[in-house]
Chains A and B, each alone.
Chain A
């Protein structure tokens, strides 16, 4: 059986999804014997710029450098698999994409020499072809293991695209929306987390992103009729808010957050630090 050459790289992200690989404590050594981890800066000093049989990509594209990098990486990878909400949907930082607001643009552009940053943080598939994706913020260890197993066996991984609700009910949890009035996005959200949040008596906030047939309009109407308090739009302005089914409502919420008024919190004397130093 093949010993695939695996690469793990990151774009803009928190490192949590690649850490999930190291969190497969029971399988890690076995994986090390069956896969060749040729590129994984967080875990090894060995480096390789390819070719890769499979390349796991974490994070969203948010700098010009990354935009070029991902195209080169794609060319050197037989299979490219995006892991996590940042790579598959843009992640929390994609909320800055409603950056036509003056304050956001000002925040990003004034000194391009110091910060290289694109106006938008976007998922990998907006730049290159993606062969498979693992959803989640962070990804689920079980799904990662299934992906690696399928890779090695040479079949397509079994990654269900059903709603969170099924697993929630299978586990015998009582619906936090119907019985608790919590604004749960489970019905619209792709499963994989094991219905985690309802299990902790709170509403699902869609960190695995929209499932196929996500009827945002219908649930949105219902929640708006059912509940008062913070608006419904903001529910969608989360870790997968840039995903097309959620994008419109997330955008409405972002315009309401009034970030234009954001105060600088760094003390005034911080700016002359450069001269202090040298």
Chain B
């Protein structure tokens, strides 16, 4: 897909909406759009994070593998959301495995190139980092809520 085409797809996402034209163009230069099928692994837990991605359409799952318990999906990612954010946070190692649950369309940025781009363009960094942080904090808040196990409540009577 052409850089322009990618920029357009990008602006259609929550991540890309309201990005300055400048920022969209700069990002488009290193963006690649892909279609992936269910089961495709986009990021592997523990591996070096070589890419940051944005889900344009479809559904991805964040998985971890627990010895003895096998793989567990911690959370799913909705269109517009970011995956592989560890690509811009030292030590650049993935914290979970990202697997497509549905036929999905993603835009990915090469980690090396994205980091150098952000290093040399403060304005770009200033608009991109808050968006990434937004996704991370949203995920953190959700995780806490899951920990609260709210639906486990309400009993008719306490058992003996």
Contact = CB atoms under 8 A, between A and B. Distances in A.
Direct contact of A and B (CB under 8 A): yes
Interface of B is mostly: loop
Contacts of A170: none
Nearest to B158: A156
For chain A, which range describes its interface: under 10, 10 to 19, 20 to 34, or 35 or more residues?
A: under 10
Contacts of B160: 79, 131-132, 156
B129 to A, nearest CB: 50
A154 to B, nearest CB: 9
A156 B157 CA distance: 7
Nearest to A79: B160
B156 to A, nearest CB: 10
Interface string A122-160: 000000000110000000000000000000000110000
Interface string B129-160: 00000000000000000000000000001101
B28 to A, nearest CB: 64
Interface residues of B, number: 3
Contacts of B158: 156
Interface string B6-35: 000000000000000000000000000000
Contacts of A132: 160
A156 B160 CA distance: 7
Nearest to A150: B160
Contacts of A156: 157-158, 160
Interface in A60-83: 79
7 contacts: A79-B160, A131-B160, A132-B160, A155-B157, A156-B157, A156-B158, A156-B160
Contacts of A79: 160
Nearest to B157: A156
A131 B157 CA distance: 14
Contacts of A155: 157
Nearest to A151: B160
Nearest to B159: A156
A131 B159 CA distance: 10
A90 B80 CA distance: 63
A38 to B, nearest CB: 19
A131 B158 CA distance: 11
A155 B157 CA distance: 8
A73 to B, nearest CB: 17
A79 B160 CA distance: 8
A155 B158 CA distance: 9
A132 B157 CA distance: 14
A132 to B, nearest CB: 7
A247 to B, nearest CB: 27
Interface in A210-260: none
A156 B158 CA distance: 8
A150 to B, nearest CB: 9
A155 B160 CA distance: 8
A155 B159 CA distance: 8
In the A-B complex, the 4 residue pairs with the smallest Cβ-Cβ separation, listed nearest first, are A156-B157, A131-B160, A79-B160, A156-B158
Nearest to A132: B160
Nearest to A54: B160
B65 to A, nearest CB: 37
B154 to A, nearest CB: 16
A131 B160 CA distance: 7
A13 B137 CA distance: 59
A125 to B, nearest CB: 15
A51 to B, nearest CB: 16
Contacts of B157: 155-156
A97 B157 CA distance: 37
A13 to B, nearest CB: 24
Interface in B42-81: none
A21 to B, nearest CB: 20
Interface in A151-188: 155-156
Interface in B99-137: none
